[in-house]
Amino acid sequence: MTQVPSMSFSTGTTAGDNPGHSSKGLSSVLWSVETRLRLADSLFINSDEGICITDLSEVIIDVNPTLCALTSYDRAELIGNTPRIFSSQLHDKAFFSALWHTLLTKGQWRGEVWNRHRDGSLYAVRLNISAVYDQNQNISHFVGILADITEQKLLMQSLEKNANFDPLTGLPNRLLFNDRLHLALAQADRTSTMLAVCFLDLDGFKAINDAHGHQTGDLVLQAVASRMASNVRSGDTIARLGGDEFIILLWGLQQASECRQMLERLQQAICQPVLLPRLTLVPAVSIGVAIYPADAQTTEQLLALADTAMYRAKAAGGNRIAYYQA
């Protein structure tokens, strides 16, 4: 694992000519090399980080016990294999192209990678790969050092979910919706398409809460959210703003009339009976729509106009779709 440099002693004397000086110097050099080797071996075996050594062809030639524990593979299974045995298939070719470019040009790469255990379960590592050079400054080996950061990544994902998703329905919240709306506007400009912002408000929802309690109201909201999620395209966004208010982003429209069919289908799904243990309730919904770029040019204007249209739908009797009219 550690290369011992060749040494020569050409002082013009022999050990017999000056036994005290030469023997002491040689002993000191040997002790230093042996100690370094012993310390390096101890560090390799006892490190709390996984260590993987490969040759230039990426063939694994040694691993330490921590790496075996981290990956769930035995040492015998890894020797002669390549690190691709850990692949999670979550990183694309561009990721690894950038990794190898940095490693070969700078001699080191650091980053975070998702891998798979022997049983297929995912885990995350902080990975540091270093190139090892021979006496001619050519790369001869690679050394990867892995630290398990799965718990930290899962905690971050949990915090991100709490910050961006509604805990009752699991839908995106206002913060995440606004981010996606900004991205959708930029996409619409690039592709010369339209998008629709749609405000939804359940009619008579307060009466449900007052008559049957908030727990029943929550069950209705969850049922409505599930129906909405099942009746929009995968790229569209539904968010809960709070209470019984929802908002939908429909993007990639070639013409404004396209959203009418989607919203009519959505309204029909929402208004199906909600079957509860001792109660059946039939929701109704008012929907207000604003179109970009026909009705407004900014996110704030779109949201305000869609809200205005929704209140017009309620004023007209509710359970209907209203489009903004200048």
Sorted by sequence, the CB contacts under 8 Å of residue 209 that are 6+ apart come out as: 216, 217
Q: Which of 148, 201, 203, 244 is catalytic?
A: 244
Handedness of CA 183, 186, 190, 193 (dihedral sign): positive
Q: Residue 305, SS3? A: helix
The Cα 137–Cα 185 span in angstroms is: 52
Sorted by sequence, the CB contacts under 8 Å of residue 323 that are 6+ apart come out as: 288, 289, 290, 291, 309
Q: Is 76 exposed, middle or buried (0-12, 13-18, 19+ CB in 10 A)?
A: exposed
Q: 236 an active-site residue?
A: no
The Cα 125–Cα 70 span in angstroms is: 9
Residue with tokens 């050519």: 138
Dihedral angle computed from the Cα positions of residues 116, 122, 123 and 129, in that order, rounded to the nearest 10 degrees: 40
Q: Are 293 and 194 in contact (CB under 8 A)?
A: yes
Return phi, psi of residue 291, to 5°. -110, 135
Other beta carbons within 10 Å of 77: 15
Q: Are 74 and 59 in contact (CB under 8 A)?
A: no
Tokens of 84: 């691709």
Q: Are 96 and 90 in contact (CB under 8 A)?
A: no
Task: Give the CA diameter of the chain.
Answer: 113
Peptide bond into 293 cis (omega under 30): yes
Return phi, psi of residue 130, to 5°. -120, 140
**Catalytic positions, please?**
244
